[in-house]
Amino acid sequence: MDTPNRTQHDESAQERSAGIGLPAHVAGSGALDQLVHTARDYASAAASENTLKAYAKDWAHFARWCRMRGADPLPPSPELVGLYIADLAAPQGQGATKPPALSVASIERRLSGLGWGYAQRGLPLDRKNRHIATVLAGIRRRHARPPVQKEAILAEDIRAMVATLPYDLRGLRDRAILLIGFAGGLRRSEIVSLDRHKDDTMDSGGWIDILDGGALITLRGKTGWREVEIGRGSSDQTCPVHALEQWLHFGRISFGPIFTGVTRDGKRTRDTRLNDKHIARLIKACVLAAGLRPDLPDAERVKLYSGHSLRAGLASSAEVDERYVQKQLGHASAEMTRRYQRRRDRFRVNLTKAAGL
């Protein structure tokens, strides 16, 4: 059993405070104490809830790794962190006790989590220190692989998927989720964060205005607020705006989260916002029901698709100027948008011929 130490003792308190407090030379008062609470609320909103959860898990894993080797994660030690990431890339142990090696992207995410964990304790971690930077560079050189991309859900795929859904309350909701997510090129976290109106809830990530020509979604993205325009479709069966209107009407959603749970009997909506994991489960279930990629076993089929399949599907299906797709997805660069385009004419611009060969 792990023996408790000062790191375990003060971990929860330091994470709650997030390093925000009064200076040592300033006496507390009611007004200042209230401002401390306000500042902590703002500090906790600096990153998404999912990111903070992931960082907290990263720190907990590192702290446990240190304790199991008789080391202390505090104060920051670049040498110790270098050994830690080396163990993540080439784990020690044998047989069932040997953990799987992590990808380069996962190791870099772990490092970000450690940087966050040390920052909460007022201690900087120098990732440029040679004990970390050179080990990470070697891991990248030896283990880096091209990213594995999820399969895109194309227009014909989304039509087949929504056709498998019933027209009960739950089916209306899930149909609106798939069509709005596809047409808006939305992340699954963005879909479930939507409210009916501006400022309906504290945890809102945006809201939807339904207009004559379509729906206007205002989203709080990674780099600030952005607008996503979703026009009406060519038929009610596949129109995302019509699907949303049907769900709002029959689900009686007039305030608060748009996509909520449904009671077990399927007759009423709940007040609670859906978790973004519902989107992933919904996509995988509809992929199987619609028979996409019938050449593969079911277990392999569901692995090909995720929430990002909706974004990749829009990028790959919309035959418009690339800049419009870039704006819809909220990408800062055209290069990022191209990563989402699974089918495009890569040789439309032929520099070989343009150079005279």
User: What is residue 349's predicted lDDT score, i.e. its pLDDT?
Assistant: 65
Cα angle vertex 27, ends 26, 30, to 5°? 120
Query: CA–CA distance from 69 to each of 11, 56, 78, 83 (Å)?
Result: 19, 20, 16, 11
Contact 201, 259 (CB under 8 A): no
Here the tokens at position 169 are 């309350």
Helix (H) or strand (E) holding 221: strand 214-221
DSSP state of 98: S
User: What is residue 229's predicted lDDT score, i.e. its pLDDT?
Assistant: 94
Q: What are the residues facing 214 on neighbouring strands?
A: 231
Burial class of residue 273 (count of CB atoms within 10 Å of its CB; 0-12, 13-18, 19+): buried
User: What is residue 147's predicted lDDT score, i.e. its pLDDT?
Assistant: 73
d(CA 98, CA 83): 16
Strands 206-210 and 214-221, how do they pair? antiparallel
Q: What is the pLDDT of residues 61-101, one digit of tens each?
A: 999 999 999 999 999 999 999 999 999 999 987 766 788 89
Rounded to 5 degrees, what are φ and ψ at 215? Answer: -120, 140
Closest CA to 51 of 130, 113, 98, 123: 113
User: What is residue 304's predicted lDDT score, i.e. its pLDDT?
Assistant: 92
Contact 52, 44 (CB under 8 A): yes
Mark the ranges of the chain whose per-residue pLDDT is less than 50: 1-17
Closest CA to 186 of 242, 239, 229, 234: 229
Strands 224-231 and 214-221, how do they pair? antiparallel
Reduce the DSSP state of residue 206 to 3 states and report it: strand
Here the tokens at position 68 are 């199991």
Contact 188, 276 (CB under 8 A): yes
Q: What single letter denotes the amino acid at residue 303?
A: K
Here the tokens at position 289 are 């029901």
User: What is residue 9's predicted lDDT score, i.e. its pLDDT?
Assistant: 36
